[in-house]
Amino acid sequence: MIIMLIIGIDEAGRGPVIGPMVMVGVLMDDVDEIMLKSLGVKDSKQLTQPQREKLYDSIKTIVKDFKVNIISPKEIDESVLGKGPKVNLNWLEANHIIEILSELSKFNESTKYNESKKKSTPEIAYIDCPSPNIKAYSEFLANGLAKNKVKIKLIVTHKADEKYISVSAASIIAKVIREHEVKRLKEKYKVDFGSGYPSDPKTQEFLKKNYSNPKYKDIFRESWSCYKDLAQAKLQRRLGEY
């Protein structure tokens, strides 16, 4: 029986105006996939917070490896505002996907999984695509991986976290780590800003009161429209005073 290694990649925290985005790649084989499915692993959005926490611990124990990239508001702003290598959040994600796949593909150099009848190199990567243009996004990823001399079949699709257990597992780890990061920020600054999403009334209130407070500069995504609208309104009020 040939055991195949696969990678699933997903993110959490793409939309919030407060806090980081978390991207995760999970390396597993098809036997692990069956085990995780039996435990109830599925898209993180379909699970409660306690369920995610419990599965988070199980996933880390079962999978062969995983990589976490925590992307700060500053890095997001630099990309979205055009100061980074690519002017788009989608391409920022793509660059991190390439980095994660390149790192996890090194697993074939490890001896801990290089057993007879088992593939030691990841063969397929399932990726939740943030872009409406799947073809262009896939080509960008393939070109980036080729530069890093990484050979792996890419399955890039929308709603991959609902279709593939490996991506579901990545989505759970990403979501839990994002929740941990939000909790850490609240404890660090001794505030409760809610979920960090613009639709959250508690987040909206915190943003209105504190968007210009230098104390919280590192937690806000200044490139988000809700932040820019407040900053622009303040500028206009100042100009109106003259």
pLDDT digits (tens, 9 = 90+) for 109-155: 444 555 544 557 899 999 999 999 999 999 999 999 999 999 999 99
CA distance 13 to 224: 13
Architecture of domain 191-240 in CATH?
Orthogonal Bundle (1.10)
Which of 3.40.640.10, 3.40.50.11900, 3.30.420.10, 2.60.40.10 would CATH assign to domain 5-186? 3.30.420.10
The boundaries of every CATH 3.30.420.10 domain in the chain are 5-186
Sign of the CA dihedral with 156 first, then 32, 175, and 52 last: positive
Q: What pLDDT is recorded for position 236?
A: 60
* Tokens matching residue 25: 């790649």
CA distance 210 to 113: 50
CA distance 124 to 133: 20
pLDDT digits (tens, 9 = 90+) for 188-226: 999 999 999 999 999 999 999 999 999 999 999 999 999
Q: Which of 68, 69, 71, 56 is closest to 19 using CA atoms? A: 71
Q: What residues does 26 pair with on adjacent strands?
A: 8, 66
The boundaries of every CATH 1.10.10 domain in the chain are 191-240
CB atoms within 10 A of CB 87: 13
Q: Which amino acid is at 67?
A: K
CB atoms within 10 A of CB 133: 11
* pTM attached to this predicted model: 0.90
Q: What pLDDT is recorded for position 3?
A: 75
The yes-or-no verdict on residue 13 having pLDDT over 90 is: yes
Measure Cα distances from 183 to 41, 101, 176, 212 in Å: 24, 28, 11, 22
